[in-house]
Copies of this chain bind each other. A is one copy, B any other.
Amino acid sequence: MNITKLSTADIRRETVVASAITMFARSGYLGTSVAGIAEHAGISQAYVFKLFPSKELLFVTALEACFELVLAALERGAATSPDHSPDAMLFAMGGAYAELIGDRSLLMLQVHAQSAASVPEIGAALRKGLRATTLLAKSRSNASDEAVQRFIAYGQLCHLIVVTGLDHNPPDWADLITAGIRHP
């Protein structure tokens, strides 16, 4: 039982955002139709437009929800780290992130968001999420700037590995770039 009572429209909005994450992650911003999201959520397409003013804002909302989950996972990882040294903290946060993106949706949504970043609102949401992620990694780990930078860089490498499918059926050359990287 929540302290804030949600109207049924607000509840609907949440299920639609969940469907949007799934569908946008599957086919990208332009490749996903609002009708498809509506069908996945089990409502009519017209009602999606009652709940969100535009496809663009629905994508932004989904991306923001995605970063909320990422930040929560990093926080969780940091909180459960057995050792408080900067390296151990970043390692624990990386492990929590790898676990989070096990179903690939949150990862793919970020990849598609990078491709759609020229849409101003999407670019802004992406910057905001990256900023929060970076600052959280820095503040919770107390690591050096270089270590935080490396943390983000290897996160991007993880994205590349998943996008190219190198984790699922790795060819012989793949372990050159997948070795030691924790991915789903």
A residues with a Cβ closer than 8 A to B are: 26-28, 30-31, 111-112, 114-118, 123, 126-127, 130-131, 134-135, 138, 145-146, 148-150, 152-154, 156-157, 159-160, 163-166, 171, 173, 175-177, 179-181
Contact = CB atoms under 8 A, between A and B. Distances in A.
A149 B114 contact: no
A92 B152 CA distance: 23
Q: Is the interface of A mostly helix, strand, loop or mixed?
A: helix
| The 7 A-B residue pairs with the shortest CB-CB distance in the complex, in nearest-first order | A115-B115, A156-B156, A153-B157, A30-B30, A153-B153, A114-B163, A149-B177
Contact of A165 (B28, B127, B165): B127
A157 B152 contact: yes
